[in-house]
């Protein structure tokens, strides 16, 4: 796969593809002309312009150019059908479902506020399906990942996604939920960022750094092994902070198991930016909304107390 990326860039170049097609088209036209009229370029050159050594060199050059064009065309066909990347650009239709759910929720808040009754902030806060929405987004993310990787079939056991919330008061990452929820694969439900026990966790290293993302290309060799059985099959790891402004709300972990999908970290970064980032924003929106309602409830309580 490492050699496929430079080859893909070479044979994906428009000039190379155009030159290949023009050479093959010219050769095809010449063969048709020779068959129909008996015309020979080498014979014409020998009779009217060049001596035999030059004509022979011309024939060798033309034959070499045609062979190179044919091989180039074969490579183009191969890379078109079997591209260097294992993932494709697909429209994240699942985001539409998530946004529809969120807009419906906001509409219910607005209906409550405009009903003529005095809006109870506590009731509005309870109507915000924070954990339900997170589960919807994670499920949609898993489905989108499966759709974007077409070279192999991604089964439920091949993909693991988890979310942890960040509690700045005690310096912990607290488990929220994971995908697939039917599989009990969570070992650490509370991760103490200051504990030596978790210092090698990718989420902990990222939280302590200025980086927003974390990548592990070779999961079996370099991924921190907790007590979970997941480390036996992990191939790649991607993680990112869930944050807005200077607030860090949590951490998103994504593990690929059983199948090698990426040849280098650059491919993983591309995959993160193209396929994960939109869902990251949806998750951050849920954390922001939760904090907003909590602050609004505290504001109402203090206002009534005053």
Give per-residue pLDDT as tens, 38-73: 767 666 666 766 667 776 777 788 888 888 888 888
Please, what CATH class does the domain formed by 93-305 belong to? alpha beta
Going by pLDDT thresholds of 50, 70 and 90, the confidence category of residue 238 is very high
Cα separation, 40 vs 61, in Å, equals 16
The domain limits of the chain are: 4-81, 93-305
Tokens of 61: 């050059």
Report pLDDT for 125.
56
Query: Could you tell me the pTM of the whole model?
Result: 0.64
CA 264 to chain centre: 13
> Which has the closest alpha carbon to 255: 228, 281, 286?
228
Tokens of 42: 């080498």
Report pLDDT for 239.
95
Going by pLDDT thresholds of 50, 70 and 90, the confidence category of residue 91 is low
SS (H, E, C) the chain: CCCHHHHHHHHCCHHHHHHHHHHHHHHHHHHHHHHHHCCCHHHHHHHHCCCHHHHHHHHHHHHHHHHHHHHHHHHHHHHHHCCCCCECCCCCHHHHHHHHHHHHHHHHHHHHHCCCCCCCHHHHHHHCCHHHHHHHHHHHHHHHHHHHECCCCCCHHHEEEEEEEEECCCCEEEEEEEECCCCCCCCCCEEECCCHHHCCCHHHHHHHCCCCEEEECCHHHHCCCCCCHHHHCEEEEEEEEEEECCEEEEEEEEEEECCCCCCCHHHHHHHHHHHHHHHHHHHHHHHHHHHHHHHHHHHHHHHHHC
Give per-residue pLDDT as tens, 94-143: 666 666 666 676 666 566 666 656 556 665 655 566 788 899 899 989 99
| Cis peptide bond N-terminal to 34, omega within 30 | no
């Amino acid at each position: 796969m490492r050699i496929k990326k430079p080859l893909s860039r070479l044979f994906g170049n428009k000039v190379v593809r155009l030159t290949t097609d023009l050479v093959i088209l010219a050769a095809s036209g010449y063969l048709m002309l020779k068959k129909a009229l008996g015309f020979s370029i080498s014979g014409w050159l020998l009779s009217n312009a060049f001596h035999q050594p030059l004509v022979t060199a011309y024939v060798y050059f033309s034959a070499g150019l045609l062979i190179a064009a044919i091989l180039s065309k074969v490579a183009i066909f191969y890379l078109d059908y079997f591209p260097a990347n294992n993932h494709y650009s697909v429209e994240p239709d699942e985001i539409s479902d998530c946004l529809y759910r969120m807009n419906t929720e906001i509409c219910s808040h607005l209906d409550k506020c405009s009903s003529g009754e005095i809006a109870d902030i506590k009731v509005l806060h309870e109507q915000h399906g924070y954990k339900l929405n997170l589960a919807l987004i994670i499920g949609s993310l898993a489905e989108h990942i499966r759709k974007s990787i077409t070279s192999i079939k991604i089964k439920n056991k091949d993909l693991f996604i988890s979310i942890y919330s960040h509690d700045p008061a005690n310096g912990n990452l607290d488990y929220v939920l994971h995908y697939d929820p039917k599989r009990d694969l969570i070992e650490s439900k509370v991760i103490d960022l200051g504990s030596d026990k978790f210092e090698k966790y990718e989420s902990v290293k990222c939280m302590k750094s200025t980086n927003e993302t974390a990548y592990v290309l070779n999961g079996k060799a370099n991924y921190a092994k907790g007590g979970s059985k997941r480390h036996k099959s992990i191939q790649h790891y991607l993680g990112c902070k869930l944050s807005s402004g200077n607030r860090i709300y949590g951490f998103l972990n994504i593990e690929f198991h059983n199948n090698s999908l990426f040849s280098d970290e650059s491919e993983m970064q591309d995959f993160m930016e193209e396929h994960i980032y939109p869902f990251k924003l949806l998750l951050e929106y849920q954390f922001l909304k939760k904090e907003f309602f909590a602050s609004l409830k505290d504001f109402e309580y203090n206002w009534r107390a005053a």
